Amino acid sequence: MPTPTERNECGVITIFPMYVSCNSTVPSSITASDGVASLFISGGTPPYFIQWNNGSIGKTINNLSVGTYTATVTDSIGDYLITSTCTLFVPTTTTTTTTTTTTLPVYDFCLTFWDYFRNRH
Distance CA 23, CA 71 (A): 12
Q: Taking residues 40-49, report their average pLDDT.
A: 93
Per-residue pLDDT, 121: 44
Instruction: Give the Cα separation of 21 and 107 in Å (integer).
Output: 16
- Among residues 112, 105, 97, the alpha carbon closest in space to that of 37 is found at 112
Kindly tell me if the per-residue pLDDT of 2 is higher than 90.
no
The pTM assigned to this predicted structure is 0.66
